[in-house]
Structure 1
């Protein structure tokens, strides 16, 4: 086995190994997604799928029950890390520890100029941002709104004033990829995530690793 190669890499096709390495190069943790009491399983699953598609590694979910639709995620939940919280205080404390600035997605008139508001394509994606998408009916909760340092909105030209949460998330995350502004993972983070992905990818990975360990 070549030096520096993960022991499980020998059990996957070269094409799949190259795909894993390519995806890792585009992964970021400087941008994360927060779902605040979003209840619809299809919406949650679609956001997770978009997060994976646009290079987001972490999703934070605030709520009692986290339900996913496998037909919507199409396995994307295997490749992102979903962190669940039962209270806004715990969520905010975690985001603060990781030095995220909180961005709430809502129309600018709702906050009446209390914090800076950006069209999503103008957000400062070169900074550590936590994008918060709120409940389908009530929006982002007041505790999180009070902790936000900026808000964001999607410019619209039609009669509708809002978009489905999964559509809004996809548009916003796509904008984050323009200009390559997000900070990519360090080598240690890449190695840790690659280890988890390979364990997920290779059937019987734990038994294989145990056997290889006894042989070395």
Structure 2
């Protein structure tokens, strides 16, 4: 297959891809840059609109590379071959995988979330590290949570590092950005329990009843849960530390809590702590 080739960094398409990767967006623009064949395959299988593909000759000559490019070409995607140095300008990784895509993506809203009988939400309250935030989304997807909610001061989940950390899960699970006060009212109006984690809590996550409607909140890496959410919380939990580690990071905490809630749902038996 023959594709359009671009060799100059001054080309408008290259400049536009860099602008999108840097998240310098115009109002109402819903395009993001994603990297790597697996994430692009996930977007493709999820029905995400793929607008443009940039790939290197090395990627395009491999068996898997040829196959995905053929699939994308059949779907009418604009496919452009560029040199390695140009791909590195678009990429924000030290070792790009040879393929980058510009795709449509729009965050959901609280109002757009379906009314569920027994929802499980993961909430990031001021999480600042993109890798942590992306991992929380990936964990939420894997455990069967119904949405990921991003509150104020939480970093942009659509920057490349965060999207990579989701491993494509961002295309499987709704992601919502909301203000804390609005979110708290939305939960209480629907009878959903607001649950936070705190090392000072007396109740272990393994002794709590988490098989009902619940939103599990995970706070800033350094400061923890914000005062607005902490004051509004219906329940505070701790993750017990049995060994000598001082603590675990926010993504690890999310994995423990979300999977405990998922386990209780699957078993049909909540714990007796509440």
TM, length-normalised to structure 1: 0.63
Matched, 1:66 2:156: yes
Matched, 1:159 2:244: yes
Give 1:136 shift. Answer: 0.7
Tell me what 1:88 maps to.
180
Whole-angstrom distance in 1 between the partners of 2:220 and 2:244? 22
Tell me what 2:119 maps to.
30
User: Which has the higher Rg, Structure 1 or Structure 2?
Assistant: 2
Q: Determine which of 220, 226, 231 is the counterpart of 1:135.
A: 220
RMSD: 2.4
* Cα 1:28/1:122, change in 2 over 3 Å: farther
TM, length-normalised to structure 2: 0.50
After TM superposition, list the pairs within 5 Å mapping 1:95-114 onto structure 2: 95-108=187-200
Whole-angstrom distance in 1 between the partners of 2:199 and 2:144? 26
Q: Assess if the C-alpha contact under 8 Å between 1:31 and 1:125 holds in 2.
A: no
Tell me what 1:15 maps to.
none
* Cα 1:28/1:73, change in 2 over 3 Å: farther
Give 1:80 shift. Answer: 0.6
Q: Assess if the C-alpha contact under 8 Å between 1:60 and 1:84 holds in 2.
A: yes
Give ranges in structure 2 of 5+ residues lacking alignment: 1-46, 48-115, 270-274
Tell me what 2:259 maps to.
174
Runs of 4+ in 1 over 3 A off after TM superposition: none
- Matched residues, number: 150
Tell me what 1:53 maps to.
142
Matched, 1:75 2:168: yes
**If each structure's helix is expressed as a fraction of its own residues, which one has the higher value?**
1
